[in-house]
């Protein structure tokens, strides 16, 4: 059975990646991975004691709920699905997770940013494609 990793952040592109995976690999085992990026996290109250832990628990609860919805969508199609939440830099965490878990393929969405916004914001999908030794399919 093929193991497919789908980075899932709840965005429309990640939903399209999930739909694409269900279409092209209906017998695969899917892992939906959300990476909590601490650099995108908490701003206001960051210096307060315990603020980071409160932010992390809140963020983890939010993403677990979103992942549960995506998992349910795939399971209704008869897919075998697991969900994973990790903390770190998204591209590096995706690549490391895929490598550590013997993933056969990564299917991920892309926001399709171009020009200056791509230069300023970077592209998780582009970094994963460039740095992964595992085949990557990017769904626009």
Residue with tokens 């315990």: 50
Quick one: pLDDT at residue 140?
Answer: 84
Quick one: pLDDT at residue 44?
Answer: 47
In what order do the strands lie in the sheet containing 80-87?
80-87, 29-36, 3-7, 105-109, 136-139
- Considering the four listed CATH numbers 3.30.70.270, 3.30.70.1350, 1.10.20.10, 3.40.50.620, the one that applies to the domain covering 3-139 is 3.40.50.620
Quick one: pLDDT at residue 38?
Answer: 86
Quick one: pLDDT at residue 111?
Answer: 75
Per run of 10 residues, the mean pLDDT along the chain (length 140 residues) is: 95 95 96 91 59 86 94 96 96 98 96 56 82 94
Quick one: pLDDT at residue 52?
Answer: 80
Residue 30 main-chain phi, psi, to 5 deg: -105, 140
């Amino acid at each position: 059975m093929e193991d497919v990793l789908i980075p899932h952040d709840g965005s429309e592109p990640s939903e399209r990646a999930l739909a694409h995976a269900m279409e092209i690999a209906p017998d695969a085992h899917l892992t939906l991975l959300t990476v909590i990026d601490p650099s995108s996290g908490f701003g206001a109250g960051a210096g307060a004691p315990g603020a980071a832990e409160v932010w992390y628990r809140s963020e983890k609860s939010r993403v677990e709920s979103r992942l549960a919805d995506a998992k349910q969508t795939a399971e209704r199609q008869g897919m075998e699905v697991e969900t994973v939440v990790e903390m770190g830099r998204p591209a590096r965490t995706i690549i490391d997770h895929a490598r550590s878990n013997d993933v056969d393929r990564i299917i991920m969405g892309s926001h399709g940013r171009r020009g200056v916004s791509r230069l300023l914001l970077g592209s998780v999908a582009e970094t994963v494609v460039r740095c992964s030794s595992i085949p990557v399919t990017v769904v626009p």
